């Protein structure tokens, strides 16, 4: 069942509130439903590093529609055609990877907005518009409700961060510590002083621009510190990590007994 677009997460961010979220990487409607039932504010379906296609994306969005959890999608590229299809399927926002400059940021925002603010093609038939049942309402509200999250993970993005975050329509800046540390020559070491300095520069620019800060965490202790530093969107886990870590912990416990 589809319903008129609503994005309480966007309103929470504008009010300065923290939100809880997680990745969906398993391309599974069942894991999406289970994660939503846990009570996350939002879930981010990964189509950049995830293995799904538009059909698996559709089933996950259908599973999430039964809950108040807001669905976002990390698209595989800053491509207006890709972004249009994802939004037409019913995502309430997109995260765009590898945004390197103000011009690329402007293109990402335009792809998410209907004219005159953007270039998103209009149609009343997609799932997001209720297959035509509430197309006029969707068209009227989508530009305000759809969230635009840009991913900061390159040297170019850090160098032009003030320009990126001054683009109207950017709602959140998601810092990708793994790619950023690799770009700076510190693969696997996001805690390196140079990487942390770059992250600090992004944090300062986001606060100045009034753009919500977002990033990934590896454990609750990490997430708690990020929230304390003013981050409003933190991915607390993923469906894949919960399965892997839970299974590994049980096997390890068994191995300790079996080896006696």
Reply yes or no on whether the pLDDT at 243 is more than 80: yes
Helix (H) or strand (E) holding 129: none
Q: How far apart are the first and last CA of the chain?
A: 54
* Confidence (pLDDT) at 4: 83
Give me the mean pLDDT over the 224-229 stretch: 97
More confident residue, 2 or 173: 173
Residue with tokens 């335009």: 110
Q: How confident is the model at residue 195 (pLDDT cuts 50, 70, 90)?
A: very high
* Confidence (pLDDT) at 99: 97
**Dist. CA 85–CA 83, nearest whole Å:** 6
> pLDDT tens digits, residue range 91-145?
999 999 999 999 999 999 999 999 999 999 999 999 999 999 999 999 999 999 9
* Confidence (pLDDT) at 118: 98
> pLDDT tens digits, residue range 142-188?
999 999 999 999 999 999 999 999 999 999 999 999 999 999 999 99
Give me the mean pLDDT over the 21-44 stretch: 98
**Three-state secondary structure of 49-107:** CCCCCHHHHHHHHHHHCCCCCEEEEECCCCCHHHHHHHHHHCCCEEEECCCCCHHHHHH
Reply yes or no on whether the pLDDT at 1 is more than 60: no
Look up residue 73 and give its two tokens.
Answer: 């999608």
Share of the chain above pLDDT 70, in %: 99
**Contact yes or no for 49/118 (Cβ under 8 A):** no
Active site residues: 49
Reply yes or no on whether the pLDDT at 52 is more than 80: yes
**Dist. CA 32–CA 16, nearest whole Å:** 27
**Distance from the Cα of residue 238 to its chain's centroid:** 12
Look up residue 24 and give its two tokens.
Answer: 């969906």
**CATH code of domain 8-258:** 3.20.20.60
Q: Indicate the average pLDDT of the chain.
A: 96
Domain residue limits, the chain: 8-258
> pLDDT tens digits, residue range 232-242?
999 999 999 99
**Dist. CA 73–CA 51, nearest whole Å:** 13
Q: How confident is the model at residue 3 (pLDDT cuts 50, 70, 90)?
A: confident
Polymer length in residues for the chain: 260
């Amino acid at each position: 069942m589809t319903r008129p677009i609503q994005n309480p997460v966007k309103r929470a961010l504008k009010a300065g509130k923290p939100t809880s979220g997680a990745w969906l990487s398993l391309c599974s409607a069942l894991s999406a439903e289970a994660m939503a039932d846990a009570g996350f504010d939002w879930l981010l379906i990964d189509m950049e590093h995830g293995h799904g296609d538009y059909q698996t994306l559709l089933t996950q969005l259908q599973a999430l529609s039964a809950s108040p959890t807001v669905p976002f999608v990390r698209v595989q590229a800053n491509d207006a055609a890709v972004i249009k299809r994802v939004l037409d399927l019913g995502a309430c926002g997109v995260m765009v990877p590898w945004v390197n400059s103000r011009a690329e940021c402007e293109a990402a925002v335009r792809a998410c907005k209907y004219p005159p603010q953007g270039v998103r093609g209009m149609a009343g038939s997609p799932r997001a518009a209720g297959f035509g049942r509430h197309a006029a309402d969707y068209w009227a509200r989508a530009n305000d409700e759809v969230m635009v999250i840009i991913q900061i993970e390159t040297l170019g993005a850090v160098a032009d961060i003030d320009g990126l975050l001054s683009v109207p329509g950017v709602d959140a800046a998601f810092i990708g510590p793994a790619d950023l540390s690799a770009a700076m020559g510190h693969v696997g070491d996001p805690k390196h002083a140079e990487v942390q300095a770059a992250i600090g520069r992004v944090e300062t620019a986001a606060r100045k621009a009034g753009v919500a800060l977002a990033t990934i965490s590896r454990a609750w202790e990490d997430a708690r510190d990020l929230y304390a530093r003013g981050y409003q969107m933190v991915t607390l886990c993923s469906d894949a990590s919960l399965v892997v870590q839970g299974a590994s912990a049980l096997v390890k416990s068994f191995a300790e007994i079996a080896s006696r």
